[in-house]
Amino acid sequence: MSLFDKFASLRVAYSGLESAKSNPFNVAFDRILSPTEARIGNRPILLLGTNNYLGLTYNPAVIAKAVEATEKFGTGTTGSRIANGSYDGHKRLEHALADFYGRKHAMVFSTGYQANVGILSALAGKGDHLLLDADSHASIYDGSRLGPAQVTRFRHNDPDDLANRLRRLSDTPGDKIVVVEGIYSMLGDTAPLREFAAVKREWGAYLVVDEAHSLGVLGATGRGLAEAHDVEADVDFVVGTFSKSLGGVGGFCVSDIEGFDILRVVSRPYMFTASLPPGVIAAATEALHQLRTRPILRERLLDNARQFYYGLADLGFAVGPEPSPVVSAIMPDPETAFAFWSRLLEAGLYTNVSLPPATPKGLALLRSSVSAAHTPEQIDHALGLFAEVGRAMNLIMPAESLMEMREAV
Ligand SMILES: Cc1ncc(COP(=O)(O)O)c(C=O)c1O
């Protein structure tokens, strides 16, 4: 008996992928040349599976700030935010985030994952209730497991189901905390946030919105879905990440609720880990500045998103319910997703394979994400490769099967 016997069936599937030399979970790029181009060996690869929505990873000002801060303050803080790991830069970034969102308080975490885990586990205490959208990201589920609160799932993007569940809990003591996302990372769909806000008001619940994929993407100034739907006043906590539109790493939470700062000495994923290195903090601060001052990036991103989403739909692929920088083609099964992914990579296009349990409804997805840095020609080239591989694999569907797959979404 081995300690790892419990993973036996997974091991078989994984070694099958390894031997087929098409393991989407083990790709290493030899060079990254720009936000949209890389090399594997000598082969040029067009990147269409990153979360680099604004293409800021190679922005000269962002890089210069990271270098300057690293030279000045060193490569790491070697300590927790509540010990030796808070520098002036961490504080300034928190002020910049609070200012951007027009909120009183902001806390920076070492990743977006830790921001969700740290906020949810601390907010929802014994006797409280967390109500999670069924399609929530793993970090939201993990955060709900770390704390003592009772967890209830409601149907994805279904405010009526949420209202029913809150009604059933109305005689139960304890705070009710509802968690939804701005853009969902698997199919690129958005939450019906106005309806959720109305439900939360009616039942006196708190609302947390994870804007990981919508920061810098939605809203007149890029604050996310709550801004786009004009319900920011109803959102009690916004969680986000620096690892997508800001092109770095790190996470945050902002709020107006008095007493928020107590979380700094309560939230274990904030306290018991090293703080972000000064260079990473400086890069995120500059990237946020770029996001605020260059709305053109958001416009380009959304143009590219529409071009790719409608392009794939027109080709006859079953895609998610609305245009978004995350565009997933629904595959009939995981094996087809692997084969499609592998042929695209051979042709020089990098995308993602997403499978259950990360995907909703057990779907196998070939997930792409576009960037403001893509040119319309690159998007066209990617569409051409999807068409070529789709035809070769008989996956460009007749209209009736397409309708069936779309209805399943
Ligand atoms: C909705 C959502 N929340 C949080 C995270 C975690 O972000 P990070 O990569 O900064 O840990 C992700 C990452 O994919 C995400 O999709």
> What is the reported pLDDT for 9?
81
Task: Give yes or no: residues 98 and 190 share one domain.
Answer: yes
Instruction: Give the total number of structural domains in the chain.
Output: 2
Task: Give yes or no: residues 41 and 95 share one domain.
Answer: no
> Does any domain span residue 1?
no
- How far is the centre of ligand 1, averaged over its atoms, from the C-alpha of 325 (Å)? 15
Residue of 65, 90, 244, 374 marked catalytic: 244
Which among 183, 243, 352 is the best mutation to test ligand 1's pocket, defined by most ligand atoms within 8 Å of the CB? 243
Task: Give yes or no: residues 92 and 227 share one domain.
Answer: yes
Task: Give yes or no: residues 260 and 353 share one domain.
Answer: no
Phi-psi region of 237 (alpha: psi -120 to 50; beta: other; left: phi over 0): beta
Residue whose Cα lies nearest atom 10 of ligand 1: it is 112
> Does any domain span residue 382?
yes
> Does any domain span residue 91?
yes
Find, among 185, 176, 172, the residue nearest to 135 by Cα: 185
> Does any domain span residue 66?
yes
243 lines ligand 1 (CB under 6 A): yes
Ligand 1 atom nearest to 136, measured from its CA: 1
Contacts of 407 (CB under 8 A, 6+ apart): none
149: containing domain:
58-293
112 lines ligand 1 (CB under 6 A): yes
> What is the reported pLDDT for 14?
75
> Does any domain span residue 102?
yes
Whether 282 contacts 65, CB under 8 Å: yes
> What is the reported pLDDT for 357?
86
- How far is the centre of ligand 1, averaged over its atoms, from the C-alpha of 152 (Å)? 21
> Does any domain span residue 2?
no
Q: Is the peptide bond before 148 cis (omega within 30 degrees of 0)?
A: no
Task: Give yes or no: residues 65 and 114 share one domain.
Answer: yes
The helix (run of H) or strand (run of E) holding residue 371 is none
Buried b (16+ CB within 10 A) or exposed e, 186-217: bbbbbbbbebbbebbeebebbbbbbbbbbbbb
- How far is the centre of ligand 1, averaged over its atoms, from the C-alpha of 238 (Å)? 13
324 lines ligand 1 (CB under 6 A): no
245 lines ligand 1 (CB under 6 A): no
52 lines ligand 1 (CB under 6 A): no
- How far is the centre of ligand 1, averaged over its atoms, from the C-alpha of 400 (Å)? 35
> Does any domain span residue 113?
yes
Find, among 117, 112, 108, the residue nearest to 140 by Cα: 117
Whether 85 contacts 78, CB under 8 Å: yes
What are the CA-CA distances from residue 95 to residues 102, 250, 252, 253 (Å)? 10, 15, 12, 12
Task: Give yes or no: residues 239 and 313 share one domain.
Answer: no
> What is the reported pLDDT for 270?
98
- C-alpha 137/C-alpha 126 separation (Å) is 23
Q: Is 178 helix (H, G, I), strand (E, B) or coil?
A: strand
> What is the reported pLDDT for 375?
98
> Does any domain span residue 4?
no
CATH code at 392? 3.90.1150.10
Task: Give yes or no: residues 104 and 166 share one domain.
Answer: yes
Instruction: Say if pTM beats, i.e. exceeds, 0.85.
Output: yes
Task: Give yes or no: residues 34 and 69 share one domain.
Answer: no
- How far is the centre of ligand 1, averaged over its atoms, from the C-alpha of 112 (Å)? 5
> What is the reported pLDDT for 157?
98
- C-alpha 309/C-alpha 188 separation (Å) is 10
Ligand 1 atom nearest to 112, measured from its CA: 10
Find, among 37, 53, 38, the residue nearest to 324 by Cα: 53
- C-alpha 55/C-alpha 370 separation (Å) is 9
Q: Which residues of the chain have pLDDT under 70?
A: 19-21, 397-409
Answer yes or no: 110 catalytic: no
Residue whose Cα lies nearest atom 16 of ligand 1: it is 185
- C-alpha 113/C-alpha 212 separation (Å) is 10
Residue whose Cα lies nearest atom 8 of ligand 1: it is 112
Task: Give yes or no: residues 284 and 179 share one domain.
Answer: yes
Task: Give yes or no: residues 141 and 284 share one domain.
Answer: yes
Task: Give yes or no: residues 351 and 381 share one domain.
Answer: yes
- How far is the centre of ligand 1, averaged over its atoms, from the C-alpha of 359 (Å)? 14
What are the CA-CA distances from residue 138 to residues 4, 142, 145, 176, 206 (Å)? 22, 6, 11, 20, 20
Q: How would you class 347 by CB atoms within 10 Å of its CB: exposed for 0-12, middle for 13-18, buried for 19 or more?
A: middle
Answer yes or no: 21 catalytic: no
